[in-house]
Amino acid sequence: MTIQPEPLQRNCPLDNGRLQPSTARVSASPSTSCELVDSVPEYNSIVKHCPDALRALLSTRMAVHFTASHIFEALRKESCFVCGKFGSFLDMFTAQRCCFDCLASSDSLLSMTATSARKEFGLDLKMMRTIPTLLSIPGEYSESGRTYRRRTRLVRMLSVSAAKSHHHDTDNLHQRPVPSTTSSLQPSEPRPIRNSHPSLQKFDAWFQNPHRFMPMLRFPSLDRRSGKLDWGVSCQACHHGPRDESRGYCDWNTVYSTSGYIDHFQKCEVSQRARAEIPQLINHDGDFRNRNDLGDQFVSFLSNFEL
């Protein structure tokens, strides 16, 4: 549903002493510059633990907005910058973490095509150049499974709105005051944002809006003390079991850190019962050991689970 690593690795290989420096945007720099880049600890850590983040930023043309320190800071963190829960995705527009729920529903992560933005908000080319623009990567996005083969220019709706407001305020500063013929003037009403364009009508489609998923890449969290990566895990018992909050059920879309899942497990009765009755079924990280062989056992267990 988000940016897939396979096409990134195939179409955007990184240098690291193997390829021509042009891939890493230093083709016009002396070889000493390449050595300097490779010597930066943050850069080395990113290449080692999550090179796909660099590939995605380069491929979407968002790399010019960030440094290795920005990406490394996100790598060290766990929490979604919107809600504070575990964030398992990297947002290409901000180089910050976000969780699946915010990805699908937060207004601050709402994207639209640059063409629609210009049309709906009445922006000219000069204003559009001030707005960070992402070039999407072909792939499957949203739950529909549809493949998008054409690359699309995307912008964040909040950035578009801010650019429009800034332009409006600037125009007001240059306007000469007009003498009033009445004793009092009513303040002008703010111009509403029209919702006539089909793309705007789809903004609340959540999981069906591909523009929400195109700027996102699955992204691990690095524990600097242990050097281990935490990709996050979801509770399969909540996903496939009865959705009874009194038994500890939580939204099955929730992705937990390893420590977060341990806390959830203490409350999730279905997970506890499943591990007790089918100990080989679920790992300590909350995932199936072998979905093909044990999936039927899990379904059978759930069908006989007493509510």
Residues 248 and 141 in one domain: no
Q: Which residues pair with 89 in a beta bridge?
A: 98, 218
Last residue of a domain, one of 218, 248, 280: 218
User: How are the residues of the chain apportioned to helix, strand and coil, as percentages rounded to the nearest 5?
Assistant: 45, 10, 45
**Spatial CA neighbour of 199 closest among 184, 185, 212:** 212
173 in a structural domain: no
- Across the chain, which distance is largest between two alpha carbons, in Å? 84
Output the six-digit token pair for 276.
Answer: 């007790």
Residues 240 and 101 in one domain: no
Residues 74 and 209 in one domain: yes
CB 95 within 8 A of CB 56: no
260: nearest Cα among 290, 230, 222: 230
* Shared-domain flag, residues 206 and 59: yes
The residue among 94, 84, 15, 80 whose CA lies nearest residue 51 is: 15
Are 144 and 201 members of one domain?
yes
For CA atoms 30, 35, 39, 45, the dihedral sign is positive
Q: Per residue of the chain (307 residues), what is the pLDDT tens digit?
A: 899 999 888 888 776 544 444 445 543 445 544 555 555 889 999 999 999 999 999 999 999 999 999 999 999 999 999 999 999 999 999 999 999 999 988 888 999 999 988 988 888 888 899 999 999 999 999 776 788 999 999 999 888 888 877 655 555 544 544 444 333 333 333 333 333 444 455 455 556 789 999 999 999 999 988 999 999 999 988 888 888 899 899 998 899 999 999 999 999 998 898 888 777 665 555 554 555 555 666 666 666 665 5
Of residues 260, 142, 154, the one with CA closest to residue 205: 142
- Is residue 179 a part of any domain in this protein? no
In this structure, the answer to whether residues 214 and 239 fall within a common structural domain is no
Phi, psi of 270 (to 5 degrees): -65, -40
Do 242 and 130 fall into the same domain?
no
CB 91 within 8 A of CB 109: yes
Q: Using CA atoms, how far apart are residues 276 and 28, in angstroms rounded to an integer?
A: 61
- 36 plus 146 within the same structural domain: yes
pLDDT score, position 186: 34
Q: Would residue 177 count as lying in a domain? A: no
Q: How many residues does the chain have?
A: 307
Report how far apart, in Å, the C-alpha atoms of 191 and of each of 51, 171, 178, 295 are.
44, 14, 20, 55
Q: Are residues 14 and 154 in the same domain?
A: yes
Supply the range of the domain harboring residue 117.
5-165+197-218
> Among the three residues 218, 251, 286, which one is the final residue of a domain in this structure?
218
Class of residue 198 by CB neighbours under 10 A (exposed 0-12, middle 13-18, buried 19+):
exposed
The answer to whether position 31 is within a domain reads yes
For residue 81, being part of any structural domain is answered with yes
The reply to whether the predicted model has a pTM over 0.75 is yes
Question: Which of the listed residues 218, 247, 282 is the one where a domain comes to its end?
Answer: 218
- Counting the structural domains of the chain, the total is 2
Asked if the structure places residue 176 within a domain, the reply is: no
Please give the pLDDT value at position 35: 52
What is the distance, to the nearest Å, from the Cα of residue 306 to the centroid of all Cα atoms in its chain? 38
Asked whether residue 213 falls in the same domain as residue 239, the answer is no
Q: Residue 224 domain-assigned?
A: no
DSSP string, 65-107: G--HHHHHHHHH--B-TTTSSB--EEETTTTEEE-HHHHHH-G
262 and 157, same structural domain?
no
Please say whether the beta carbons of 174 and 167 come within 8 A: no
81 and 112, same structural domain? yes
Residue 192 lies in a domain: no
